[in-house]
Amino acid sequence: MDFEQARFNMVEQQIRPWRVADQDILDLAYLVPREEFVAPALRDLAFADLEIPIGEGERMWQPRIEARALQALAVRKPERVLEIGTGSGYLTALLAHRAAQVVSVELRAGLAEFGRANLARHGVDNITLEVGDGAQGWPGHAPYDVIVLTGSVPVLSERLLAQLAPGGRLFAVIGDAPVMVATLVTCIGPGNFRRAALFETILAPLAHCDQPARFRF
């Protein structure tokens, strides 16, 4: 397979048409080798417009979702990022190229090791990988300028929001299937947040996340 042609097609046919105009984000798709963050048997699918299985029931985001999230978050070099759900480590690497420091937390030890190995091959040195339950954030390193949830949540945890620094942004897919909305939350002051709906999508749920009160008969 011609990976460079596939990478070009991914950018021009998937990412750019999906309202991604930030050239730095488009350049990242060429810089970080997506095919090195999937199992060898799935490398031919690395650039496809689908969620790729990465083990333990988890999947990588589609390339266009990754790009839209990065564009919305507008991560800058002095900033510190919390990623909840390391997965393959691909999104972690993209964030690390934009930020000063990335703290990434993965619940599943086997998946954390997969992501760690992928990132080690890529040679990124501004990432702290932790194994644990990040559903309520990771307060030991808070506050953060950026928080990314790689699994969907029906409601946002107040404890997560409290870990955002003033001016900080949080990306999450919020809702219950079949209605979920990718949302950017911006902290505009202590306890004061602004939400912006970005696009509709469906994403597997984040383990152990907060649940809303459900009506029962």
Whether residue 215 is predicted with pLDDT greater than 70 in this model: the reply is: no
Mode of pairing for the β-strands spanning 127-131 and 101-106: parallel
Burial of 4 (0-12, 13-18, 19+ CB in 10 A): exposed
**CATH value at residue 149:** 3.40.50.150
Mean pLDDT calculated for residue range 33-57:
97
pLDDT in tens, 123-169: 889 999 999 999 999 999 999 999 999 999 999 999 999 999 999 99
> Which two tokens mark 88?
């393959």
Mean pLDDT calculated for residue range 53-58:
96
Mean pLDDT calculated for residue range 181-185:
98
Q: Is residue 46 part of a domain?
A: no
User: How far is residue 155's CA from residue 140's CA, in Å, rounded to a whole number?
Assistant: 23
CA angle 163, 114, 46 (to 5 degrees): 100
The pLDDT confidence band at residue 213, using thresholds 50, 70 and 90, is confident
For 87, the 3-state DSSP assignment is coil
Q: Is residue 215 part of a domain?
A: no
Whether residue 43 is predicted with pLDDT greater than 70 in this model: the reply is: yes
- Angle between helix 90-98 and helix 23-31 axes, rounded to 10 deg: 130
User: How far is residue 33's CA from residue 3's CA, in Å, rounded to a whole number?
Assistant: 9
Number of domains, the chain = 1
Domain with 159 in it = 62-200
pLDDT in tens, 77-105: 999 999 999 999 999 999 999 999 999 99
Q: Is residue 68 part of a domain?
A: yes
Mode of pairing for the β-strands spanning 80-84 and 144-149: parallel
